[in-house]
Amino acid sequence: MVRALRGEKEGGRGRERDGAREAGAGKEKANAEKDTDARVQLALSRLLNSKLNYERLNSDLLIREADSLTQRQKIAPIPSPDPLIQSKESALIACYKQNSSRSLDCWKEVEDLKLAFAKAQK
């Protein structure tokens, strides 16, 4: 009987201990979830920052390239087309349109355009 009473007391204490253990395990689980959430948030913020830095670098590089091209254009501007070349070119195009099935008939216009290019380059 004494043992039975002791067993009941110990059993009661055991149940109390189990309840305390379960409560502690619940707190540990909640803390672990909070830690995991915090680590995930940190990783996401780092990823976002690296993406933003990458985009900034790309935009800076693009701006520098555009500035470089603008400077080159200022140094060597594109010459305006020679009116003689334009007239010979339009004559060749008109000949090709008139002789669409016989393009070899436009040899004279082709030669005239070649000569105009040669004169313009000199």
DSSP state of 103: G
Q: Mean pLDDT in runs of 10 for the chain (122 residues)?
A: 51 54 72 91 91 86 90 78 91 93 90 93 82
The residue among 71, 72, 112, 65 whose CA lies nearest residue 90 is 112
Q: What is the pLDDT of residue 114?
A: 95
Q: What is the pLDDT of residue 87?
A: 94
Alpha-carbon distances, residue 114 vs 59, 60, 64, 93 (angstroms): 44, 44, 39, 14
Q: What is the pLDDT of residue 86?
A: 93
Long-range contacts, 50-56 (Cβ 8 Å, 24+): none
What does the alpha-carbon distance between residue 63 and residue 119 come to, in Å, rounded to a whole number? 39
What does the alpha-carbon distance between residue 65 and residue 5 come to, in Å, rounded to a whole number? 89
